[in-house]
């Protein structure tokens, strides 16, 4: 058994702390502060998470992939979205005194469909984007196995991801983040780890 590379874990821990600090600034309304502007220079933590996910992602057959991705990504997304929804609903009811049932049931569904997350727990968008990135990549792995031209596949895959990112940027399309704008960019970072 090979020894675990603690440097990767150390970098991941640092990136998590940077991410948490950024969310604290955002949720406290401190995005105009000089400290937050300096913090923005460290916004490379999201690419790191996709890069690291690609480093350790291994694919087996389609069924095993789907079960694994569901267990590791979709199940936590569903559980913590539900918990966030409960707290958000309690806030609406007891703090805001909002008695409109649409805001409790339809608005969260609309937010998930259009944005990939709900107001009750917004950082969970990452899990849904990573699921889509892995799924898109798994599809391309299957296609590559059929056509069996690795260099052509790599070129086509990277070209498609670059074109998708550029097109979304030029057309100012950023929602839903889980399948349009963010996914194309993240595929580039995720896949890079497989090009040895």
> Under a CB-based contact definition with an 8 Å cutoff, are residues 25 and 39 in contact?
yes
Domain that holds residue 2: 1-43
Tell me: do 94 and 177 sit in the same domain.
Answer: yes
Taking all residues of the chain, what is their mean pLDDT, rounded to a whole number? 78
Confidence (pLDDT) at 195 = 47
**Which residues, 6+ apart, have CB-to-CB distance to 24 below 8 Å?**
30
Tell me: do 97 and 4 sit in the same domain.
Answer: no
Percent of the residues in the chain that have a pLDDT greater than 90, as a whole number: 10
Residue range 59-99, pLDDT digits in tens: 678 888 889 889 999 999 999 999 989 998 999 999 999 99
Confidence (pLDDT) at 72 = 92
> Under a CB-based contact definition with an 8 Å cutoff, are residues 177 and 168 in contact?
no
Tell me: do 39 and 67 sit in the same domain.
Answer: no
- Distance CA(74)–CA(67), nearest Å, equals 10
Tell me: do 91 and 119 sit in the same domain.
Answer: yes
- Distance CA(76)–CA(74), nearest Å, equals 6
Tell me: do 33 and 66 sit in the same domain.
Answer: no
Tell me: do 61 and 20 sit in the same domain.
Answer: no
User: Smallest Cα–Cα separation from 108: which of 100, 118, 98?
Assistant: 118
Residue 172: left (phi > 0), alpha (psi -120 to 50), or beta? left
Band (196; pLDDT cuts 50, 70, 90): very low
Neighbours of 137 (CB within 10 A): 20
Tell me: do 135 and 180 sit in the same domain.
Answer: yes
Lowest mean pLDDT among 34-48, 101-115, 142-156: 142-156
Band (183; pLDDT cuts 50, 70, 90): low
Confidence (pLDDT) at 76 = 93
Q: pTM of the full predicted structure? A: 0.73
Q: Give the distance from CA 67 to its chain's centroid.
A: 18
3-state secondary structure of 172: coil
Which two structure tokens, joined as six digits, stand for 118? 């709900």
91 found inside a domain: yes
Confidence check: pLDDT of 127 > 80? yes
> Under a CB-based contact definition with an 8 Å cutoff, are residues 83 and 144 in contact?
no
3-state secondary structure of 44: coil
């Amino acid at each position: 058994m090979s020894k675990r590379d603690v440097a990767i874990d150390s970098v991941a821990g640092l990136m998590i702390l940077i991410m948490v600090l950024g969310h604290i600034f955002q949720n406290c309304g401190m995005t105009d502060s000089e400290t937050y502007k300096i913090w923005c220079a460290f916004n490379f933590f999201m690419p790191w998470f996709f890069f690291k996910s690609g480093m350790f992602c291994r694919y087996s057959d389609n069924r095993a992939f789907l079960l694994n991705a569901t267990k590791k990504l979709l199940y936590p997304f569903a559980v913590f979205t539900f918990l966030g929804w409960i707290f958000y609903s309690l806030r609406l009811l007891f703090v805001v005194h909002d008695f409109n049932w649409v805001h409790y049931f339809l608005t969260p569904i609309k937010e998930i469909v259009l944005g990939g997350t709900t107001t009750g727990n917004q950082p969970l968008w990452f899990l849904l984007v990573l699921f889509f990135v892995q799924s898109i990549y798994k599809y391309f792995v299957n296609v590559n196995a059929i056509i069996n031209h690795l260099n052509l596949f790599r070129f086509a895959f990277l070209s498609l991801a670059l074109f998708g990112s550029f097109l979304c940027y030029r057309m100012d399309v950023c929602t839903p983040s889980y399948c349009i704008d963010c996914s194309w960019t993240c595929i580039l970072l995720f896949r890079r780890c497989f090009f040895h």
